[in-house]
Amino acid sequence: MGRSLAELLAAHPDQMVLAGWPAVMLGSKQRYIGLACLASGRPARAARHLGVALDEDSEFAVLQTRTRFDLARALLLQPARRPEGLAEMAHVKQKAAELKMVALEAQAAAACAS
């Protein structure tokens, strides 16, 4: 299902993903393609899309921090990129603390510890 969702999102011309009524901005399309790739067990592809999403989500600090968390998870799943993932996760933990994102800070701390 994650693979199909990633393919559908990639084929669509829109840049942002909206949901609900009234619509709520959930982030860039690249972030959701990355999450779908991550869910379907393709961390290298997920990391590529999430890297693009970081630039697209840059004006929203909370959204960018969540995207960085997703990118760090994708990097941690790749043995060769684990050190990069740990560094990214430490950055997420610090930024989440600054933004008072308590749950994300705890998730990042747990990921750094494992």
Q: What is the pLDDT of residues 71-86, one digit of tens each?
A: 999 999 999 999 999 9
β-partners of residue 19 are 24
| Dihedral sign, Cα of residue 73, residue 74, residue 78, residue 84 | negative
CATH number of 2-113: 1.25.40.10
pLDDT greater at residue 100 or residue 28: 100
Q: What is the pLDDT confidence band of residue 16, given thresholds at 50, 70 and 90?
A: low
> Given this model, what pLDDT does residue 23 score?
46
Kindly state the helix (H) or strand (E) to which residue 19 belongs, with its residue range: strand 16-19
Q: What is the pLDDT confidence band of residue 35, given thresholds at 50, 70 and 90?
A: confident
Share of the chain above pLDDT 70, in %: 77
> Given this model, what pLDDT does residue 67 score?
92
Q: Where are the domains of the chain?
A: 2-113
